[in-house]
Structure 1
Amino acid sequence: MTLSSTLICPYSTSQINCKECVKVEKQWNIKRVIEDLTQAKCQHLTKSEICWLRLLIYGLSPEEIAQKLSLANSHIKSALSTSIYRYVESLTGRNLKKYSQVRLFLQEAEKYEKIEFELEIGKEIKLSDIDPELLMYTVKKLGIQFPVEFIVVKIHGNENNE
């Protein structure tokens, strides 16, 4: 039995099956989190730091991360204390007291979680015909805060896709 390459963590030094990282990738704008933490750190995050960050966002404790990665608890705790925890504090302006606050503080920043919904358009429209004010009003009424990525998944109407 072979593992799907999409389940192998690209940031781990060992080839581990990492369903947690895949789930975080789907639910969070992890690229933006990494970019913002890179700015807070003033240099790129290491592959290990990215791996640990994803697992913390998923909700794993430092002990669970150490077990998953076959590392010593003391190593992970020390490394997180001098890296990810400090970067998140710098980014959010808040002091972390426990590992679970990494996810909480990033959630409260309201710009990292992906909001997925399906938009169905029931008639043919041209983008040039859309009133930008009406679009913004609708988005605000739905409670969507920017930046959010929109994806139109179904378009009904014109069969020629013009």
Structure 2
Amino acid sequence: MSATNEKFLEACNNWDLETLYTDLASVKGKRLTPVEKLHLRGLLLGYSPAEIADKLDKDIRGVETDFSATIYRYVKGLVGKCNEKINNWRSVIEWLYEAGYKIETKNNNQQTVNFESVDMIGRIANIKFCKKKITIEIDTIEVDLLGKEQSFKNFNNSDDN
């Protein structure tokens, strides 16, 4: 694979590229070419055809013509908008999003966690890796104004004395 074909690969982080390639190939009647895939990935990352041409050191008019003759036609056929004119390349991204090719980053089995900055001194007691879950246990230490360390447990118990 040439260095050019390795560009824009980060699109696979947010888009189901394999399914999209397969579905677009069915509209086209044969597999997408490496250049078509490359241009599509650039578009899915939010680059305009002119920006894609610039990043690939290609002629802008040539890339824009390629989009009109290939990717735009295939996407219109895939999402059932064959008779619509593409006035803006961003329409392609919107249509593919609406068609379900964008990967949802939030899994129903996952919780959203908001982190807050906390000043704390501690040591990691245990780290566990299990499938897609990381658990970190931390022993915390409270530090008084004089710099004497006390364990959190001892600090709380000192109020009872």
* Structure 2: runs of 5 or more not aligned: 111-130, 136-161
User: Are the counterparts in 2 of residues 21 and 58 from structure 1 also a CA contact under 8 Å?
Assistant: no
Is 1:21 the counterpart of 2:3 in the alignment? no
2:38 aligns with 51
Following superposition, the deviation at residue 115 of structure 1 comes to 1.9
Distance 2:31 2:52 in 1: 21
Identity %: 30
Between Structure 1 and Structure 2, the one with more strand by share is 2
Aligned to 1:78: 65
Q: Which runs of no fewer than 5 residues in structure 1 stay unpaired?
A: 1-9, 121-151, 157-162
Q: Which has the bigger relative contact order, CA under 8 A and spacing at least 6?
A: 1
1:107 aligns with 2:91: no
Give the match for residue 22 of structure 2. Answer: 35
Q: How many residues align?
A: 111
Q: Distance in 1 between matches of 2:103 and 2:28?
A: 24
Q: Distance in 2 between matches of 1:32 and 1:101?
A: 19
Please identify runs of 4+ aligned residues in structure 1 that moved more than 6 A: none
Q: Matched residues in 2 for 1:17 and 1:40: separation?
A: 24
Structure with max Cα Rg: 2
Deviation at 1:112, TM superposition (A): 1.0
* Distance across 2 between alignment mates of 1:45 and 1:16: 13
**Distance across 2 between alignment mates of 1:85 and 1:70:** 21
TM-score normalized by the length of structure 2: 0.62
Greater share of helix: 1
- In 2, Cα distance between equivalents of 1:155 and 1:74: 49
For normalisation by structure 1, the TM-score amounts to: 0.61
* Kept in 1: contact 2:5–2:34 (CA 8 A): no
CA deviation map 1:1-50 (0-9, x unaligned):
xxxxxxxxx5xx544873x431x101111111111100010110000000
Conserved 8 A contact 2:53-2:60? yes
